[in-house]
Structures are given as structure tokens and as C-alpha cells.
Structure 1
Amino acid sequence: MSNASAPTHRALIVVDVQNDFVEGGSLAVAGGRDVASRISEHLAAHAGDYDVIAASRDWHHAHGTNSGHFAAPGEQPDYVDTWPAHCVSDDAGSDYAPELVTDAVTHHVRKGQGVPAYSAFEGTTDDGAMLADVLRAAGVTDVDVTGIATDHCVRATALDARREGFAVRLLEGLHAGVAPATSAAALEEMAAAGVAL
């Protein structure tokens, strides 16, 4: 009997690479389009390394505040808990950014359908499954995280992946943050939670 460790089964999560989060969008992140292109290059070279490739999208209702996620009419967003309208489900802003090639994506995850949601683990696939269940069913042990924004949804997704018991890597150069200070704080928080940076 050998005591060789069980094989590693890896997943890639591409977080919220959407029109509203890249240059020109309603919540644009500088460098978003460049990151989208680099994620596409990573997929072209490494798609075969992954058992699951999941891409999440913010997917908000066009009406109301999505349970307080959008700033109420006439109020200014605080950019902490309330935001300008973004990634509305029937609007082009919710579409994947054109620089992101999604051919290799195995699971499309929608999150924030009427409620605030930052982590891809809060969303559901097209057939209604939770992401953690999809990963476990595929035998995934390790998760690579990429996407937008480092200091918001990427952070939340990586932390949730650790809480769910996965080994997690944040892939360098394949994520973009809103602001340097909050991105640096997010990286520290992820590292403290055991995310490999």
C-alpha cells in the first residue's frame, strides 16, 4: 500500500468579468479589460488543467434596489453597502466583457438576483445548483480564483472557497481591484485566511 496523497482536482473561478466592471461600465475597474484578456490567455493555455471552470456574473433585477444593494432613487451610493445600478439582468452591462472568451466555461453562475451578493458561492448555476455543490460533485480539492474586483467580489469568493474547505490560489495578474488601499487590505485578509497569493 502506498500512502500517496489523493490526486488534486482543480477548478477555476472567473469572478464577474462583465461589461459594467470594465472600462466604460457603470462601475468600471481600471485594468478590467486587460485582466479579461489575460484570463482568456490563461484559459487558452490551461483549460485542460481544470475539472470545473465556473464564471460568475452579478445578475440584478431592473426594478427596485435589490434589497438595498442599489442606492435608493435620489440617494448617493456609499460604495460600501450601496452602489449605482449595475449588471441589470436585461441590460448589456451584465454581459461578459468581450475580451473574456467563455468557450471553456463549464458552469455559468448568477448571483445577486434581487439581493446583495458578492461571492460566487452565493450564486446558482443555470440548473439551480450552488457552486460549492458543483465543485464537490466534481471531486474538486483546489480552486484558482481570478476576476474583478480584487477588493470586493474576488475577495469574497476566495474567502468563501476557504470556508468551504478548498485550497485556494489567487492567480497573480488575473485580477483587478477598485482601489490600491482596499485591494492591499483584501490581499492581506485573503493571505491570513490561507489563500495562496
Structure 2
Amino acid sequence: MTSEATRALIVVDVQNDFVEGGSLGVTGGREVAARISAHLTAHAGEYAVVAASRDWHHAGDSNGGHFHAPGEDPDYVTTWPVHCVQGQPGSDYAPELDTAAVTHHVVKGMGMPAYSAFEGVTDAGERLADVLHAAGVTEVDVSGIATDYCVRATALDARKAGLAVRLLPGLHAGVAPESSQAALAELAGAGVEVTA
């Protein structure tokens, strides 16, 4: 089996609420979505699995304290503005992301905080780690939003699952420069291949 046949791409949370104009919009999010689409156009055939994750929070509750309480401001550490509510436009993939090559759609955060794509399940109820293992994947490329939150958590969990991990340059966007740089340093320290 060639190395190409054992590689997967994980596209993390490229959703309307996480790109410009969304409730937690990240600067550069739409550009990253378009770049991921171009990467897929050129390289989809190199991946045994292409998994795309989405936050998929419940409407009308705090999702385990993930959404800020009514009358309180979010602290942007553990509590956040309402975002990516199931079935609402904010939870949809950003229009710049072409999902035609996606083999597995993963949803996470149903009623609870969840940052890593490995905390979610596919449409068939499978865990991402199980999907990758079943496909013989040993190496993953990670992309998406946001570098300093869900991309970070996904890459770290991929390493914990024993996978070789590469963060694709130019295919991720962070909330803030300082926290993004800290995340990149942490990822490199965990054995993730991080290039400029």
C-alpha cells in the first residue's frame, strides 16, 4: 500500500458562523475555505478518507455551558455566543468550501462543548478514529478553522490516536495571532508537522 492510500484529510469546522459575517467569524476564513476547495480539486485522489467536521449544537439550551447564559457576556474561553445551531444557516458549510470530495461528514457538540473532530460522529454514527482505522489511515492532513481552537484540538487528538499529522500551510485560520502562534508551538511540540 502506498503512503497516499493511507493518508486522510480532515477539514475542521469550515462553517458560516466561523467565517467573516458569522457569529464567531474568523478573519481569513472565507479565503481558507476557497483554498481548501482548491486543494481538494488538486489532491482529493491522494486521500483514502476526506472527513469534514461541523459544530452541530442544540437550539434552545446552553449545550453544557458552551453557550453563554442569558444576560451574561461570553468569556471567549469556555463560553461563547450562540453559534452553529443545528439546521440554522450558521451551521452550514461556508459556500466557498466545495464538499463534493468529502467522504465522511462529522458532527460534534450536540448538547455539550466539543472542539476536536474526534469527539464527533459521522452520519452513520461512527467515531472518526474508527473510520480512519478501518480505512488503514496512518497519516492525516489537518485544515480548517480555527487554528487556535478546533484545528488545534483535532490535530492533538490525531496525534493521541497514533497518527502522523501534518497541518497544511495556508489552509487554516486562527482567531488571534498570539493564541494561534501558541497553538502552532504546542502542535509542533506534540509532533505535528507545522510549516510556515
TM-score by length of 2: 0.97
User: Structure 1 residue 42: deviation in Å?
Assistant: 0.1
Quote the residue 1:155 is aligned against.
152
- What secondary structure sits across from 2:144 in the alignment? strand
Q: Identify which of 14, 18, 22 aligns with 2:19.
A: 22
- What secondary structure sits across from 1:53 in the alignment? strand
Inter-partner Cα distance in structure 1 for 2:142 and 2:74: 28
**RMSD, matched Cα:** 0.6
Q: Identify which of 28, 31, 35 aligns with 2:32.
A: 35
Quote the residue 2:167 is aligned against.
170
User: Structure 1 residue 18: deviation in Å?
Assistant: 0.1
- What secondary structure sits across from 2:22 in the alignment? coil
Q: Identify which of 53, 57, 64 aligns with 1:56.
A: 53
Q: Identify which of 110, 114, 118 aligns with 1:113.
A: 110
Contact 1:56 1:120 in 2 (8 A): yes
Q: Note the alpha carbon deviations across 1:27-73, whole angstroms, 9 max, x for none.
A: 00000000000000000000000000000000000111000000011
Inter-partner Cα distance in structure 1 for 2:138 and 2:64: 34
Query: Are residue 7 (structure 1) and residue 2 (structure 2) matched?
Result: yes
Contact 1:54 1:106 in 2 (8 A): yes
- Percent identical among aligned pairs is 74
Query: Are residue 194 (structure 1) and residue 188 (structure 2) matched?
Result: no
Contact 1:62 1:90 in 2 (8 A): no
**Larger CA Rg, structure 1 vs 2:** 1
Number of residues of Structure 1 aligned to a counterpart in Structure 2:
192
TM-score by length of 1: 0.97
Contact 1:14 1:147 in 2 (8 A): yes
Inter-partner Cα distance in structure 1 for 2:72 and 2:63: 15
Q: Which runs of 5+ in 2 are unaligned?
A: none
